Structure 1
Amino acid sequence: MMTNEEMWIGLGWVFIKIILISIAAYIVVIVARLVVRKTFSVRIRGPLKYNERRQQTLSKLLENVVAYVVYFVAIIAVLSAINIDITGLIAGAGVLGLAIGFGAQNLVRDIITGFFIIFEDQFSVGDYVRIGLAEGTVEEIGLRTTKVKAWTGELFIFPNGNVTDVVNFSIHNSIAVVDVNISYESDIAKVENLIVEFLETLQDRYEQIIKPAELLGVQNLTTTEVVMRITAETLPMQHFAIARSMRRDLKEYLDKRGVEIPYPRMVMMQRSPEASNSAAIAKK
């Protein structure tokens, strides 16, 4: 066998076929992914407005499906190259797949739920969501799992069948809420007029603000301060940044106009000796 030239030539051709099939499959996957990305990018930039979130999700899904199909065909071609009966193998795989399908009900549930998540547009890649105790940006929606990345860097991976309660923060506009603390010594009417003047300038400075910001009025009365509430409707998930900017700008605006922001104070009183003696005599 070691000196059988025909056997070694045959093995060499089989090895070359396997390498060529693997290279061809890899190239086809790369080209197919580029075509899918290019197609969806052209649709997004076209005159017809499409939902960009949905386009990105479908693009990722199609890339995964194409990769699975191409690699499956490549495996069949490799088996055919080494003279394995594919017909019997496919028939046996069908029976085996049916048996596995009955046992792998969770896997089937994950795949079906994944399709419903995508086509019902419950959430898409790039959305900021809360799933159970996890909260973050959707990184990927696959056939079986969903990946959510928290803003602190953790990556949560959920089987699609376990995604039951979802809060999507990226579909509708957000509301920025800012509470302003005013001292009791301040003129409330004057402060309200100043805040309204400040709010009228916000929409020109921040394009993320959709509607003019509103002063709702006095929100709370504490033992040390008056709390006034401001709201502003923003683009989805822009309310955190807008609220921070509003607090900074409003602080500077009120400081320039002499409105004092309350802060904790400590008043110390010292009684004189004469007052102590007078108090003692009065007690007697």
Structure 2
Amino acid sequence: MNSKDLKILNLFKFDENLLISYSINLLKIIIILILIKIIISIGSSVIQRFFNKQKQSKFGFNEKKADTLSELLKSILRYVMYFIGIMWILEVLGLSIKTVIAVTSVAGVAVGLGAQNFIKDVISGFFILFEDQFAVGDYVEIDGLSGFVETVGLRVTKLRDFSGDLHIIPNGSIVRVTNKSRGNMRALVDITISYEEDIDKAINIIKDVNEKMKKEFKEIIEGPNVLGVTNFSDYGATIRVVAKTEAMKQWGVEMELRKRIKHALDENHIALPIPKRIIMNYKKGETNGN
């Protein structure tokens, strides 16, 4: 075997060793990723079981508070494990911790703005939690976006609106919050009757409906009460009914009130207004009403 053949053989051996080294490192990275995923899954399950027990305990957290803390801790767990995983993988690739820190310091200048936003989101998230501005399950309006809170995470808050759209809002951008789930809510129903009908009779019929509703619905805190005639429109007189209900129960009460009032008015032959149009026939001088 000549010297040229020996050089080729040595090159092949070097490439073979390099390939084995890369394969081992790739296998280690895959194992690290699997371990991280398993730890996150197990940790999330433990957190969920803990807070489920808290919700059932007399001295534990209420349901909304427990769900909020559960989602927050899961979010923190994910971020911590992602960081550990990245550091572990960099070490497998041959980068020492000192090198990683040095590179991170240099890169920190370039991503400083992003890091500032991240820190702002995290700090805002903690303030939202500790000030109890809202919790998972609350119906809120945040800067013009409304929906039920699905997640209060370390960095973002997720809202699900009635159409099913999911709004993801960075915590640091939240300026104004309207929580519609705290305290009693107002149920409001407007009923317009025709001008030809007896308003006093209609009001008495609505009052009877209100009394029955109050007895049957535990979620009604106060009322329903007839405020009186609040408007005269092109079609008729508007009678307003209001009630106070438990949080998030107002819509159901409003729909039931409308249905019952409509049935009661129909039974007593109180007509709701129908839009009318007057057509003038100038040629014949006749008037037709439709």
Q: By the TM > 0.5 criterion, same fold?
A: yes
Give unpaired runs (5+ residues) of structure 1: 271-284
Q: What pairs with 1:196-275 in structure 2 (closer than 5 Å)?
A: 196-222=207-233, 224-265=235-276
Counterpart check, 1:75 vs 2:82? no
Which residue number corresponds to residue 278 of structure 1? none
> Could you say what the CA RMSD is over the residues aligned between the two structures, in angstroms?
3.2
Which residue of 185, 189, 192 maps to 1:178?
189
Given that 1:101 and 1:108 are in contact with CA atoms closer than 8 Å, whether structure 2 keeps it comes out as no
- 1:24-55 Cα distance to aligned partner (Å, 9 max, x none): 11111000011111111111122236332232
Which residue number corresponds to residue 72 of structure 2? 61
Given that 1:132 and 1:166 are in contact with CA atoms closer than 8 Å, whether structure 2 keeps it comes out as yes
Q: Distance in 2 between matches of 1:94 and 1:126?
A: 40
Give unpaired runs (5+ residues) of structure 2: 1-10, 282-290
- 1:103-135 Cα distance to aligned partner (Å, 9 max, x none): 743333222222212221222233222222322
- 1:58-110 Cα distance to aligned partner (Å, 9 max, x none): 21121111011112222222333344312342355357547754774333322
Deviation, structure 1 residue 166: 1.9
Deviation, structure 1 residue 212: 3.4
- 1:133-192 Cα distance to aligned partner (Å, 9 max, x none): 322223333333333333223333333222112222122222111112233444433333
Which residue number corresponds to residue 165 of structure 1? 176
Which residue of 136, 140, 165 maps to 1:154?
165
Q: Distance in 1 between matches of 2:192 and 2:18?
A: 88
Q: Which structure shows the higher strand fraction?
A: 2
Q: Distance in 2 between matches of 1:21 and 1:109?
A: 30
- 1:234-259 Cα distance to aligned partner (Å, 9 max, x none): 22233223212211111101221333
Q: State the identity as a percent.
A: 37
User: Across the two proteins, how many residue pairs are aligned to each other?
Assistant: 272
Which residue number corresponds to residue 97 of structure 2? 86
Q: What pairs with 1:12-91 in structure 2 (closer than 5 Å)?
A: 12-48=23-59, 50-90=61-101
TM-score by length of 1: 0.80
Given that 2:223 and 2:242 are in contact with CA atoms closer than 8 Å, whether structure 1 keeps it comes out as no
State the one-letter code of the partner of 1:164: V
